[in-house]
């Protein structure tokens, strides 16, 4: 049986990802990681040829994370922002096809940091916009042979999809074989009553998982119920990747949205290396 891959996101060290960060692929491989996730904040910074050369040298698999700021919002009143989000996803899907990354993950339904108290009527309008937009994204994804895993975020980062149950409802409403679910233990620790139940609910729709501690620090050094997570992944027969995702205060765009004001570990290398050791034992 295929084992669960252990990965790390480039955001652990840098933002945005560009050619100056290519050395991180070799670093991650030397630490023992099976895969490396490239976050695409600015598609024009992604040098496919250089990345593929570097990948070939160090032999690590690639994944892709998509990022949604205020100018990429499927739920926006302004149709230009909705279209901009779709245009961005198409750019990422083209890159994913070229890089051979079969899954893109992120909160594609809206923009990060959009959290308001709004009427049920307005929420329904925005939910329907997300559904319509993701249907279009699903059509594009089928053309490029990729899947999109939508990620629930905690209540401080979005007001649309906070739980796996909401993500499950959203993908059911979208009804596309290309639109699936991506979960993150940081958000789950805040929003879910049970990590086990959330993962089981995702079931076969789970195409990606971020391993993030309750404070975004080193996995295994906080309060996340990791044993429950491991039990759930085994229960559903999960064979995807489990990726360390954290940020540094230097990651300006992401640090603000994720409220990263201080260092979360003695060093980012420590966080990655110790996190890898912990997850390797947990998921073996």
Measure Cα distances from 119 to 123, 124, 200 in Å: 6, 9, 31
Give the C-alpha separation, 155 to 189, whole Å: 12
- Kindly report the CATH class assigned to 5-282: alpha beta
Once rounded to an integer, what is the mean pLDDT over residues 116-141? 97
CB-CB contact of 35 with 243 (8 Å) = yes
- The model's pLDDT over 130-169, given as tens digits with 9 standing for 90+, comes to 999 999 999 999 999 999 999 999 999 999 999 999 999 9
- If you count them, how many residues does the chain have? 284
- Report whether pLDDT(257) > 80: no
Res 55: pLDDT: 96
Q: Which residues of 135-167 are buried (b: 16+ CB within 10 A; e: fewer)?
A: ebbbebbeebebbbbbbbbbeebbbbbbbbbbb
Structure tokens, 163 = 């739980």
DSSP 130-175: HHHHHHHHHHHHHHHT-EEEE----TTTBSS--SHHHHHHHHHHHT
DSSP state of 74: T
Q: At what angle do helices 79-99 and 48-58 cross, to 10 degrees?
A: 40
- Per-domain residue ranges of the chain: 5-282
Q: Using the predicted structure, report yes or no on whether residue 25 has a pLDDT greater than 70.
A: yes
Q: Has residue 1 got a pLDDT over 60?
A: no
Residues 34 and 60: beta-carbon distance below 8 Å: yes
What value, to the nearest 5°, has the Cα angle with vertex 27 and ends 99 and 241?
55
User: Average pLDDT of 258-269?
Assistant: 82
Q: Is the pLDDT of residue 172 over 80?
A: yes
Q: What values do phi and psi take at 66, rounded to 5? A: -105, 145
pLDDT confidence tier of residue 3, bands split at 50, 70 and 90? confident
pLDDT tens track for 202-246: 999 999 999 999 999 999 999 999 999 999 999 999 999 999 999
């Amino acid at each position: 049986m295929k084992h669960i891959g252990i990965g790390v996101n480039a955001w652990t060290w840098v933002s945005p990802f560009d050619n100056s960060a290519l050395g991180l692929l070799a670093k991650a491989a030397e630490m023992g990681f099976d895969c490396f996730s490239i976050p695409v904040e600015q598609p024009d910074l992604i040098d496919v040829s250089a990345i593929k050369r570097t990948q070939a040298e160090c032999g690590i698999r690639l994944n892709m994370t998509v990022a949604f700021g205020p100018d990429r919002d499927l739920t926006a009143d302004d149709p230009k922002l909705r279209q901009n989000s779709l245009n961005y996803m198409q750019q990422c899907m083209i890159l994913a096809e070229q890089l051979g990354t079969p899954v893109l993950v992120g909160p594609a339904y809206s923009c990060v940091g959009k959290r308001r108290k709004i009427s049920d009527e307005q929420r329904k309008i925005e939910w329907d916009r997300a559904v319509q937009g993701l249907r279009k994204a699903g059509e594009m994804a089928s053309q490029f042979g990729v899947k999109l895993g939508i990620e629930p975020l905690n209540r401080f980062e979005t007001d649309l999809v906070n739980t796996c149950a909401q993500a499950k409802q959203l993908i059911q409403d979208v009804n596309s074989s290309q639109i699936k679910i991506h979960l993150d233990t940081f958000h789950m620790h805040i929003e879910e009553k049970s990590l086990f139940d959330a993962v089981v609910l995702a079931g076969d729709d789970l195409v990606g998982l971020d391993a993030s501690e309750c404070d975004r620090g080193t996995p295994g050094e906080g309060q996340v119920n990791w044993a429950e997570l491991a039990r759930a992944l085994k229960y559903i027969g999960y064979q995807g990747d489990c990726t360390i995702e954290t940020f540094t205060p230097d990651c300006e765009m992401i640090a603000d949205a994720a409220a990263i004001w201080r260092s979360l570990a003695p060093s980012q290398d420590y966080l990655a290396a110790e996190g890898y050791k912990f997850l390797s034992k947990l998921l073996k």
